[in-house]
Amino acid sequence: ILRETLTKRGVRVITGLGKYFRQVDKNRNGFLSKTTFKEALKVFHLEVPKEDFKSLWLVLDDSNSDKVDYGEFIRAIFGEMNEYRKAFVRKAYMKLDFNKTGSVPMVDIRKCYCAK
């Protein structure tokens, strides 16, 4: 049910959820508690019946840690990237990683990106 709702409402809801998750992730570990996750769904008017939420949580929290990784949530909704998209992301990353260090500092991103 949630997947259908999210795919109907589109990218704006997903990006909004991402922004919301980053704001409520106070310790910046990328994980959300069950309570925080429920609250996020309410904020974005994503109504999930109680029984469906239990099932959803079992799928998302497969490690039984009582928290969910935002990246895993996105993959559960949209699935893995296809090979075309993966190749595109790799190509963009290679352009940003000027020094071929395997990481991209914000300074290098600023050299390539203009928000205008």
User: What are 14-45's pLDDT values in tens digits?
Assistant: 778 878 888 888 888 888 888 888 888 888 88
pTM above 0.85, yes or no: no
The total number of structural domains that make up the chain: 2
CATH number of the domain encompassing residue 74: 1.10.238.10
Is 21 found in the same domain as 63? yes
Is 87 found in the same domain as 71? no
Is 94 found in the same domain as 58? no
Is 59 found in the same domain as 15? yes
**Domain carrying residue 8:** 1-78
The contacts of residue 44 (CB under 8 Å, 6+ apart) are 13, 16, 17, 20
Is 71 found in the same domain as 41? yes
The pair of structure tokens assigned to 113 is 């990106």
Is 90 found in the same domain as 73? no
Tens of pLDDT, residue by residue over 48-60, are 888 888 888 888 8
